[in-house]
Amino acid sequence: MRKRYLILITAVVAASIIGYAGILNSRIINESKPADQIGQNKPPDNNSDGNTATDPVQAQINTMSLEEKVGQLVMVGINGYENDANSIQLIKNHHVGGFVLLKQNVKDTKQMLALINSLKDTNSVNKIPLFLAIDEEGGRISRMPDEFMKIPSSQRIGELNNSELSYQLGGILGDELKSFGLNMDFAPVLDVNSNPKNPVIGDRAFGNEPSLVRKLGIQTMKGLQSRNIISVVKHFPGHGDTSVDSHVGLPTVNHDLDRLNSLELVPFEAAIENNAEAIMMAHILLPKIDSHNPASFSEKIISDLLRKDLNFKGVVITDDITMGAVVNNYDIGEVAVKSINAGSDIVLVCHDYLKEEAVIKAIQKAAENGNISMDRIDQSVYRILTLKLKYAVTDRVVKSVDPQIINNKINALFRDFPSLKG
């Protein structure tokens, strides 16, 4: 039965390609194909045009302009509670691939849903639906409206050291996002909190032992994925032993590769082996690996360590490049170009429309003058569209949200795990 269904889907894809003169509308495919029916496609060979009759992603790429491709490489933030003129411009003129909602964008459930739906409506002019992301880790890093019960921190989950609890909490986080029509969570944190004086990670980590972080982090990731939410594990290659907050300045971590392999990389390597599909890069400098470039735009760390050594085939996203670690030390446009060339797929720009526009223009200019090759751009676009297709990302609006449905699940979890309240 499954085989017959896949044959039917292939026929639908082929018919769509023919019917639209080679233009594959990903919205049609997304709404007809469940996520678990789509395999992990590999980026096209640089020396091959791809077989578009059997590869809907390559067919879509072949219809895209340079501006549309560049847009997919950028995720942006919004200023305030509404879809304003700037965000409309980013969608209609720059074809951005996605948005992230921050605490400053959330007033209450009704407003948050209206904002998300408005972004989706605006994006109807584009071929490709939006990534819509949020930082929802539990604990102090939560963007959910106040109508939702708070979920305990990862540190608390680590203290209980229960894999089933971690999986169920991941599922509830996924339910929260799905109720609003979001499709991506910048979570879980896979940093090992090995430095108790770390100013930025702390209780966001499951603990200070790599085996614990590995076990519980993977279960939270799987819980999110079980709800068809893209889990972006973070902050590679590990932000747990820093003494500087990268929101303010650039941390330096003087560890060599042997140390990273024995501690910081343990959870990430295991996550990759367990089908992690997106990873966020940290803004940290590791001079014993790359003395010139922070991890978020280091070819040695992204292409060599993450992609080659750890064999990661998924989507690489930078942490927000408007953070102090970047803007206080580098030109933001140059960083965006270097990050793409280093192997990143998506540059995250959370604040300031002028910075968002500067990043898009810098990538566009670099592509036009050959400083970023078209092969390099197409590789990233291929990975991005494959992930959107796999998770059936759409711009369908959600009519209403009932926080009580989620709160009932959280209350049930507290009943099942009484010590969770601590």
Active centre residues (catalytic): 247, 319
Question: Parallel, antiparallel, or unpaired for β 98-101 and 74-76?
Answer: parallel
| CA dist., res. 214 & res. 200, Å (int) | 20
Cβ contacts of 2 within 8 Å, gap of 6 or more:
none
Q: Which pair of tokens denotes residue 218?
A: 């993977």
Q: How far apart are CA 74 and CA 88, in angstroms?
A: 15
- The Cα 122–Cα 95 span in angstroms is 11
Residues whose CB falls within 8 Å of the CB of residue 258, separated by 6 or more in sequence, listed in order: none
Give every CB contact of residue 181 below 8 A, 6+ residues apart in sequence.
113, 116, 117, 120, 132, 396, 397, 398
Q: What's the CA gap between 131 and 126, in Å, rounded?
A: 13
For residue 191, give both structure tokens.
């940093």
Please enumerate in sequence order all residues whose Cβ is within 8 A of that of 309, keeping only pairs 6 or more positions apart, or say none. none
Q: How far apart are CA 358 and CA 333, in angstroms?
A: 6
| Pair of tokens at residue 418 | 């009484």
Using CA atoms, how far apart are residues 188 and 234, in angstroms rounded to an integer?
Answer: 7
What is the distance between the alpha carbons of residues 88 and 79, in angstroms, rounded to a whole number? Answer: 12
Cα 217 to Cα 310: distance, rounded to the nearest angstrom: 18
Q: Are strands 278-281 and 315-318 parallel, antiparallel or unpaired?
A: parallel
Secondary structure (DSSP) of 19-32: HTTT---HHHHHHH
Q: What is the 3-state secondary structure (H, E, C) of 176-195?
A: HHHHHCCCEECCCECCCCCC
